Amino acid sequence: MASSSSSGLTFKLHPLVIVNISDHYTRVKSQLSLPPSLTSTSSAATSNNNNNNSNGGENNQNPPPRVYGCVIGVQRGRTVEIFNSFELIYDPSTRSLDRSFLEKKQELYKKVFPHFYVLGWYSTGSDAQESDMHFHKALMDINESPLYVLLNPAINPAQKDLPVTIYESELHVIDGVPQLIFVRSSYLIETVEAERISVDHVAHLKPSGGSAATQLAAQLTGIHSAIKMLNSRIRVLHQYLVGMQKGDIPCESSVLRQVSSLLRRLPAIESEKFQDDFLMEYNDTLLITYLAMFTNCSSTMNELVDKFNTTYDRHSRRGGRTAFI
């Protein structure tokens, strides 16, 4: 059901929505994987969000739970901007949507954000399913053409893009029967400054319990991969320009203009004072690294000398440890 949409709408997705969905999913999943004795008591408390609490005795062997919620935002002309989201109670087996809850939430959000409308709904999973259509139709009374935002929670290290897809519904005639099916649409990510800061913060969160050394290593790894990515992108651009110069690739002046504007923005600072300070800091870092290497080397050397002395020195000191000179 995934051909591309033909509605011509541009979708802009804010990171807040993605963070919300993933948070919702993680919470539900972690509450589900409690030990069996606790699950039965907690399942009563978390019955709103738990879709699989009938299987309270098991933990992670279950298929991962699906979470549902609503996305809200603004539609201006042909641009649909999804700003925020909230959770909903929905049971796919009984197909019951808690309408009162939905309306209460809508009212609350309307008070704070008067411009936002319910644009659609979200869920988690690897692909859109037939059963999702019911939810979709249920929302159609609030919004004639709701959106379906799907987040794939499986972690795939090889994947480079975000595992988020936006589906729209279109009426297609299949086998003579008009049916609503989901079609995929492309979207852009749009950030506000506050969101950028929080995303940055989340990206740098490392599992706690690491010592200072592992935290430093993790931070440096992050910087390293960022620089590596920057380097590879510049290389791609460079190859493209070289190809254009040689004539293999047809000249595109719009791309050339963009590249030249990018280049003219750099270097950001080019003053003597900056150069001075920069070199001094560079030198300081190098000196500290040098010092660290020295210390490392001397400690290895010291151990080696100790071993050598114990082995070969006929009159080595007995008793107690030799002091580190």
Partner 1 sequence: MNSMEGLVTQIQGLSSTASDVLMLQNLLKQANDSLHAESTRLLPFLDQLDPSKHSLGYLYFLEACTAGPITKEQASSYVLIIARFLSSCVSEQIRLASHKFISVCKRFKDQLVLLGEPLRGVALMLTAIRKFQSSTEHLTALHPEFLLLCLLAKSYKTGHSVLEEDIFEVDQPKDLFLYCYYGGMICIGQKHFQKALELLHNVVTAPMFAVNAIAVEAYKKYILVSLILHGQFSTSLPKYSSSAAQRNLRSLCQLYFDMENSYSNGKIGDLETYVQSNKERFEHDNNLGLVKQVVSSLYKQNIQRLTQTYLTLSLQDIANTVQLGSVREAEMHVLQMIQDVEIYATINQKDGMVRFLEDPEQYKTIEMIERIDSSIQRLMILSKKITLTDELMSCDPSYLSKGCRERQKFDFDDYDSVPQRFNV
Residues of the shown chain interacting with partner 1 in the complex, contacts defined by CB under 8 A: 276, 279-280, 282-284, 286-287, 289-290, 293-294, 296-297, 300-301, 303-305, 307-316, 318-320, 322, 325
Choose between 127 and 284: whose C-beta lies nearer to partner 1: 284
Strand-pair partners of 86: 70
Count how many Cα atoms sit within 13 Å of the Cα of residue 58 in the half-sphere of its side chain: 9
Q: Of all helices (H) and strands (E), which one includes residue 61?
A: none
- Minimum distance of partner 1 from residue 123's CB (angstroms): 52
- Minimum distance of partner 1 from residue 217's CB (angstroms): 17
**CA 7 to each of CA 128, 135, 173, 263: distance values in angstroms, whole numbers, following the listed order:** 19, 21, 17, 37
- Minimum distance of partner 1 from residue 222's CB (angstroms): 23
CA pair distance 59, 315, nearest whole angstrom? 65
Choose between 44 and 288: whose C-beta lies nearer to partner 1: 288
CA pair distance 292, 324, nearest whole angstrom? 18
- Minimum distance of partner 1 from residue 286's CB (angstroms): 4
Choose between 202 and 294: whose C-beta lies nearer to partner 1: 294
Terminal C-alpha separation, the chain: 75
Choose between 243 and 294: whose C-beta lies nearer to partner 1: 294
- Minimum distance of partner 1 from residue 323's CB (angstroms): 9
CA pair distance 153, 173, nearest whole angstrom? 32
Choose between 206 and 290: whose C-beta lies nearer to partner 1: 290
